[in-house]
Structures are given as structure tokens and as C-alpha cells.
Structure 1
Amino acid sequence: MARLLLSVLVVANVVSALAVVEARHQHRQLFVQLSRLERARDELNIEFGRLQLEQATWAESNRIDQVARDRLGMKFPEGVETVVIRP
């Protein structure tokens, strides 16, 4: 009887140890994945900041005015070209 109980306890101890090893291995893998994802997040945040700055630069009114004049040949109408329509 004592021998059977001792055998069961040894087997339970080995199974428990293997479960701890598996849990620690899984923890390490998940930690590596978390580190990778955090690094990717940081890179995306940097890229997003750069794109916001670029968008702000392209959307400046001086830039829009310059492109309208140079590429599209647009200009402000002169006094004689302005027509006022009254209801």
C-alpha cells in the first residue's frame, strides 16, 4: 500500500514538474512575441507621426496656393472679372 502511494506521488511530482517546464516555455515564447509586437507598435507610432507631419506640410495653405498657381495656372480674379449676383 505504501509503495503504491509512493509511486503515485512520484508520478504526480514528475507530471507536475513537466507541467511547470511547459508553462515556463510557453511564457518565454509569449514574452518574445510580446516584445516583437511592442517593437512593431513603436515603429508604427513613429511612422504615424512622420505621416502626420507630412500631411500637415502638404496641407499648408501656402503650399496649396503655390500648387494652384504653378500646376493649375489658377489666380485670384481681378476686380473686373468679379461678378456679383443679387437675388
Structure 2
Amino acid sequence: MTAVLILAVIACSLGVVSSQHESRRLVTEIEREQAHTRALQEEFTRLDIEQQAVAALPTVEKLARKALRMDVPGKDTQISLDLSREGRR
């Protein structure tokens, strides 16, 4: 009878240890997924801001053309600079 009780206590102890290990593993996995979620939210925010900035460019161009009477310079008034290493010599 005592041997059976000792085996039952050992089995229960192993079950508790196994449960604690599994619980810690799952908590670690949850924390990893939460960190991944935060990273994705930050990337989404950055991309959303970038998209809004790009979407605003036509509006800025339209205002520059109308209010400031700005236009793209013609080919004869454009100046090109060669910034490569060969051009710096």
C-alpha cells in the first residue's frame, strides 16, 4: 500500500513539473507572439504614414503649380551633375 502511495506521489510530482514546464513554454510563446504583433503594428503605422505622404505629393504639386506658378523646368534649363567617383576627379 505504501509503495502505491509513493508511486502516486511521484507520478503527481512529475505531472506538476510537466505542467509547469508546459505553462512556461506557452507563456514564452505568447510573449514572442505579442512582440511580433507590436512589430507588425509599428510597421503598419510606418507604412500608413508613408502612404499618406506619397498620396499628398500630387496635392503639393497641384498647389505649387497653381498658387506659386511653378512648373517643371524644360530640358534646356536643366543642369545635371555627375556625382560618381570618376566625375569627382
| TM-score (normalizing by structure 1) | 0.66
Please, which runs of 5 or more residues in structure 1 have no aligned partner? 72-87
Structure 1: 4+ residue segments shifted above 4 A: none
CA pair 21-62 structure 1, distance change in 2 beyond 3 A: closer
d(CA) in 1 for partners of 2:12, 2:27: 22
Task: Give the match for residue 12 of structure 1.
Answer: 15
More off after superposition, 23-32 vs 11-20:
23-32
Counterpart selection for 2:48 from 39, 45, 53: 45
Amino-acid identity (%): 12
d(CA) in 2 for partners of 1:62, 1:27: 50
- Aligned 1:32-71 pairs, distance under 5 A: 32-58=35-61, 60=62, 63=65, 71=74
| TM-score (normalizing by structure 2) | 0.64
Compute the displacement of 1:31 (Å).
Answer: 1.1
Q: CA RMSD in A?
A: 2.6
CA pair 25-62 structure 1, distance change in 2 beyond 3 A: closer
Compute the displacement of 1:62 (Å).
Answer: 8.0
Compute the displacement of 1:28 (Å).
Answer: 1.1
Alignment length (residue pairs):
70
Counterpart selection for 1:30 from 9, 33, 37: 33
Compute the displacement of 1:55 (Å).
Answer: 2.7
Residue type matched to 1:8 in 2?
A: A
